[in-house]
Amino acid sequence: MRFATFVHQGQRQVGLVSPDGQTVTPLDLADAQRGVLPLIEAHAAGAPWPVSTRAALPVNSVRLEAPLPLPRRNLWCVGRNYHEHAKELQGSVFKGNNANPAAWPIVFTKVPECVIANGDEVRLPGEAVSVQIDYEAELAVVIGQGGKNIGRESAMDHVFGYTIVNDVTARDVQMRHQQWDMGKSFDTFCPMGPWIVTADELDGQHTRVRCWVNGAARQDGRTEDLIFDIPTLIETISRGITLYPGDVIATGTPAGVGMGLNPPSFLKSGDVVRIEIDGIGTLENQFV
Ligand code: MG
């Protein structure tokens, strides 16, 4: 199933998207202000899937929002998690980083307020703040059943579904500070969508992640290339920290980011970044 948050006739609603992505059927949720989150919480608590008797609407007649317009807390993100991407940034982001990359994943967060929808504009922060804005196409895991100290054997039982995230990054700011959160959390720096696909419909461990800038192919990876796979990420992040329904884990980006090009190429006003993940759909945003 595919669950979307959208605005129709001035009202935020949650709906079930048809398998072809052409229509969305509004669901009767008591609290649509939080997007798909109440549905995830109810499902984690054992509630049946919601039903709807309302008429389906064409997706192009509604305004899609991020499926989780304001996630309940910071988004978990993983750095350097595709083998090919780790290689391309050896001379820049990871220069002088002698930690064993195979031991533990790099985990940082983005603030929830930077989430925007498919089709929304990403606002460049201005040259006084950053001149190195980059894209990162990523498969994002949405947690269903929460838990702490989750073992990798049962980790996939905690996955509600998947969506797409563009982990937009200010490279100069990312590298200026000891922690990455600032360079990853500028306003509008987390396009998310177009919807959440449930885990029974998509095998996130075997899918393809692609990205284009102004129509030119930049990234093309498969999640089989993850250094730390999804069960390992859930196991690691839940060590001593409770995960909650609706938590988001952005799993890292494949090779082909702007920083990795020779010479590096960063985003400018007017650029359009389009991300596709097989089994989910397309997330497209213009930078202004
Ligand atoms: Mg990333």
Token pair recorded at residue 180 = 């990455």
DSSP sequence for 239-269 = SSS-B-TT-EEE----S--GGGSSS-----T
Distance 10 CA to ligand 1 centre (A): 33
Distance 25 CA to ligand 1 centre (A): 32
Backbone angles phi and psi of 71, in degrees to 5: -50, 155
| CB-based burial, 73-106: b 16+ in 10 Å, e otherwise | ebbbbbbbbbeebbebbeeebbeeeeeebeeebb
| CB-based burial, 264-282: b 16+ in 10 Å, e otherwise | eebbeeebebbbbbebbbe
- Mode of pairing for the β-strands spanning 137-143 and 248-250: antiparallel
pLDDT value at position 25?
97
Domain positions in the chain are 2-65, 75-287
Distance 138 CA to ligand 1 centre (A): 7
CATH fit for domain 2-65, picks 1.10.3470, 3.10.330, 2.60.40, 3.30.160: 3.10.330
Gap between the Cα atoms of 199 and 143, Å rounded: 10
Report the top-level CATH class of 75-287. alpha beta
> Between the CA atoms of 138, 144, 146 and 148, what dihedral angle is there, to the nearest 10 degrees?
-40
Other beta carbons within 10 Å of 141: 28
Distance 54 CA to ligand 1 centre (A): 38
Distance 160 CA to ligand 1 centre (A): 21
Distance 115 CA to ligand 1 centre (A): 14
Distance 169 CA to ligand 1 centre (A): 8
Distance 168 CA to ligand 1 centre (A): 8
Gap between the Cα atoms of 278 and 108, Å rounded: 26
Q: What is the pTM of this model?
A: 0.96
Distance 165 CA to ligand 1 centre (A): 9
Sites in the chain below the pLDDT cut of 50: none
pLDDT value at position 100?
55
pLDDT value at position 94?
73
Tokens 């999804």, residue located = 230
